[in-house]
Structure 1
């Protein structure tokens, strides 16, 4: 996108009555944001959704001054940007009708990785949530996914930190412009975040972290990823809004179950009870539902001559060598291990290259 077209696009987004959906419709019909401003009224009026008021607003030249200011900010602060119909725009977000026309970025972003998951949850994360989040990301790290969250307190920042600790790219989706950070206490994480991914936002430098911006931000978190994971949530909360947005976008949703007496497990338990979310007890659950291929990763890992197996792993391996292909439930029954425990054990064994998954929840020894 040229600077000229970016300038016209910025101006179009500042026109009163033009949101992401209308902007895309106008650009689609006329070919560019510049063409929208240059088109005669008769041509604009023929487009569905364009009425007298919008025609008048499109002639308001004040929007070009605002576009000047934002373009100067972008150019003077090394801000990257991506347009909704260009190759560098997040692929899954292209299929969201209300996805942002423009996204602004800071850091070392690579949005081409297809394995992208969003992790959300309460700002009052418990020790249970912290431990689960860290373990989940550690187990997924051999598959090199991108971890997306909102850079807020609680689950968000734990997920970002865990991703960075595992050497994974992580993206913070912000509810304000890139000229500031919220919450301010998280400023200490910015440099490392930008080295290991960075930040995305649809908001301009003139935007503050207002309450309504967080709901808008959540649709990006939900739409950009293959799946949204809710670690912990009270009965009501922003993470549940994100989960429902992900459902509306036809994305997979996972929720971590907890005790019925735990306040910050109620939201997750309700999602599972309403069959809106898959139960998530380990990384193996996510890998299975998303059909991520562990074997491809194994090809890049030098096979060890002598693989060290834990007691439970050895028990499972011996059973599969003797029995051949078996389903997860059969393995759990034969080895006298609970299913929730065996799921994580199996993924570790896959990463060690001693077993492999097959269609139909089957596993076999290699």
Structure 2
């Protein structure tokens, strides 16, 4: 963006400056529009000899036409530098021709419609350009007004010139402070965005670590726990199949190539989970097609639920159900064991909270646990 160009681009990387630009452009359009109309009315009402309509009529027409163009451009495109250059040319021309456009009495104290128009143009230059351009532009315009007054033989030109100098100083100082404040706000926002990005990266890394831990927990650790609890003989075919599956999962984790795409039959995936369990699992599995990563979440959570049954329920069998209802895929693991009080489960217990609840939440699903004296029901769900 060229220096001094006020853009209305809402996608600016500097939101505070962009907001300032939009507000300034809107204010400029309103103020210049109102001033253009007021100047035209004042010019016509003050048209007494020696002012001639032969000069004043075209001047008023130019003023109104330029005012309309200025307002339209400011509202549509902001305040481009070429628009401000046009404003300086039009107002400067009125200044040099003021001997034919205003009467001497109207110039006392800088009260003529041209002097007021000069004030407006100085303000517009200050909000459009930075000080290094706005100050020379304001001085040039104030000089043009003074020169026009001297050529017409009007008194008080120097006094009006002094007023214009004060206006230049005040408006340039104000806009410099506003731009500096906007710059500080943008710098603070940039630091905030950088911090948020870094935080998001860290959260993603931690989520990935938790997922890897969960995958290890649901495979190798579960198998080792089953062996340690005497749930499988060393020569068990099921144990060999589970060990081979666990080894493949470890290799995928190491390579970072675990499959996540495509669609699979959840019923078939859960059938494998039931077959690898140390329990006697009664499976009721209706075909349900889901994305692969969702099936993996269901499988991991169901495997953890079955492992918990084997460890804590005091029974050797469980039911595994898969069905779909009301646009949701439902999976249930049910046992008839002694149950437990979920409120007494330690907050850091990895299996229930990480391998079941958080695993399902990671794919946009959920999990619920109901337990009592009659047994435990773990419900897993996911909606497409």
Asked if Structure 1 and Structure 2 have the same fold, meaning a TM-score greater than 0.5 normalized by the shorter chain, the answer is: no
Q: What TM-score, normalized to structure 1?
A: 0.19
